[in-house]
């Protein structure tokens, strides 16, 4: 039995390859599913971010710009461990 194992380095390349395959521009319907945001809120946030592209009636959202904008709303961890959380119950 011939065993052909791939080297570990190729496994480390997988996340990088996935990033390359990820779409840079999304239509509204796709972005609503990916980000789980309603159409109205998505339009508001994408407009504020400056991530909207309009091409012949087609509206696209630049995912890199939108992701960077969303990071502004990230809340830091509270530092509570599981033990502290169970004590409160």
Q: What CATH number should be reported for the domain holding residue 47?
A: 3.90.105
Domain assignment present for residue 44? The answer is yes
- Inform me whether the pLDDT recorded for 67 exceeds 90: yes
Question: Which residues, at least 6 apart from 45, have a Cβ–Cβ distance to it below 8 Å?
Answer: 37, 66, 69, 70
In a domain, 52, yes or no: yes
pTM over 0.75? The answer is no
Residue 33 lies in domain? 22-73
For residue 5, what pLDDT is reported? 65
As for how many domains the chain has, the answer is 1
Residue 84 has pLDDT above 90, yes or no: no
Task: Give the per-residue pLDDT at 15.
Answer: 72
Asked if the structure places residue 47 within a domain, the reply is: yes
User: Would 87 be classed as within a structural domain?
Assistant: no
Please tell me the distance from the alpha carbon of residue 10 to that of residue 39, in angstroms, as a whole number. 39
Distance (Å, rounded) from C-alpha 10 to C-alpha 48? Answer: 39
| Whole-number percent of the chain with pLDDT over 70 | 71
Q: Is residue 74 scored above 70 in pLDDT? A: yes
Is residue 68 in some structural domain? Answer: yes
**Average pLDDT for residues 43-61, to the nearest whole number?**
95
Tokens of 13: 């390349």
Please tell me the predicted confidence (pLDDT) of residue 11.
66
Q: Does the pLDDT at position 46 exceed 80?
A: yes
Within a domain: residue 60? yes
């Amino acid at each position: 039995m011939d065993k052909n194992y791939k080297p570990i380095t190729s496994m480390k390349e997988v996340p990088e390859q996935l990033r390359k395959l990820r779409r840079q521009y999304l239509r509204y319907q796709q972005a609503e599913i990916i980000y789980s945001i309603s159409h109205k809120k998505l339009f508001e946030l994408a407009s504020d971010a400056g991530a909207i592209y309009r091409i012949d009636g087609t509206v696209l959202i630049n995912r890199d710009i939108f992701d960077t904008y969303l990071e502004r709303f990230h809340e830091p961890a509270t530092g509570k461990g599981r033990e502290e959380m169970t004590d409160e119950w």
